[in-house]
């Protein structure tokens, strides 16, 4: 039975990953310090749950003993927080990642899987491929790029098997809905259920590639392989390969809408080229945003 460790494992994506890993028969250690300011944290009682800060290396290192696979999702991910306090964002996303990588190396972990973001592409022309140049528009995307480069450093210099997954716009059950930079689907669904106006940023023409959390989790699990193929040591986009405007999403939910000013640090278009992950693992998205909304309103 593989032993897996998930950082950020009580949050949106991390908790769904923990649940799925346990369902598949894996032993799971979950580390989370509940710093994300989500409305709810999801701790699976069948996991070994550790409430600890990844910045405290001496506190977390011992939990990597005999771990086979590490999924690193813990991060300062709110763009507002990153803009207001970039130093903290760099500390959590870079030093925190350094601590996890160091523990992986000490304990001979078979593979480290980093959750990164499509925001490293910035204003690059869509669809984005993994070889695109970097164009970070805010401290969050810059910090995630640093964490990617640090992970690649450990892979190339210390032979730590590393996979980097760049998520596009993740949606689904458990998505946070508080704060202006929470996933737009989570905000819209909460507003709809509370009979409030849907708040659309700008004119709503921004195009987004929405990928369901279950498909994101499936992508992570594709890299649990005892053979540890060399082509896994790479960076992969995780998106649907399709995009849709924010206004179209809102129109599917409610006609009660208001518009708010555009926000700094955001790309106008996101769209993933997913040929690489499909070729290497056979992964394919299976839950699409329009069908999901129609099933949930």
Q: Which residues are catalytic?
A: 140
Closest CA to 206 of 178, 176, 168: 168
What's the distance, CA 184 to chain centroid? 15
Listed in sequence order, the residues at least 6 apart from 104 whose beta carbon sits closer than 8 Å to its beta carbon are 64, 70, 112, 154, 160
Q: 47 phi and psi, to 5 degrees?
A: -95, 160
Residues 237 and 104: their CA atoms lie apart, in Å, by: 23
Q: 29 phi and psi, to 5 degrees?
A: -110, 130
Tokens of 215: 């498909």
CB–CB of 67/87 below 8 Å? no
């Amino acid at each position: 039975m593989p032993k897996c460790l998930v950082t950020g494992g009580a949050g949106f994506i991390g908790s769904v990953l923990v649940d799925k890993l346990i369902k598949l028969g894996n032993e799971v250690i979950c580390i989370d310090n509940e710093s994300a300011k989500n409305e709810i944290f999801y701790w699976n009682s069948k996991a070994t749950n550790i409430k600890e800060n990844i910045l405290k290396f001496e506190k977390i290192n011992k939990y990597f003993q005999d771990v086979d696979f590490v999924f690193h999702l813990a991060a300062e991910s709110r763009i507002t927080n990153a803009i207001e306090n970039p130093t903290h964002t760099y500390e959590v996303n870079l030093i925190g990642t350094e601590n996890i990588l160091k523990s992986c190396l000490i304990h001979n972990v078979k593979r480290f899987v980093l959750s990164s973001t499509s925001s490293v592409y910035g204003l690059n022309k869509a669809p984005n491929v993994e070889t695109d140049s970097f164009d970070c528009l805010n401290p969050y995307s810059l910090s995630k790029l640093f964490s990617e480069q640090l992970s690649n450093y450990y892979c190339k210099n210390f032979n730590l098997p590393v996979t980097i997954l760049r998520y596009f716009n993740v949606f689904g059950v458990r998505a946070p809905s508080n704060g202006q930079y929470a996933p737009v689907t989570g905000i819209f669904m909460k507003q709809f259920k509370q009979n409030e106006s849907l708040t659309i940023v700008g004119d709503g023409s921004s195009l987004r590639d929405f990928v369901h959390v279950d498909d994101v989790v499936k992508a992570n699990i594709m890299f649990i392989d005892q053979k540890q193929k060399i082509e896994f040591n790479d960076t992969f986009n995780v998106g649907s390969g399709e995009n849709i405007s924010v206004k179209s999403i809102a129109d599917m939910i409610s006609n009660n809408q208001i518009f708010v000013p555009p926000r700094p640090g955001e790309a106008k278009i996101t769209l993933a080229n997913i040929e690489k992950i499909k070729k290497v693992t056979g992964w394919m998205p299976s839950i699409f945003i329009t069908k999901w909304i129609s099933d949930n309103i």
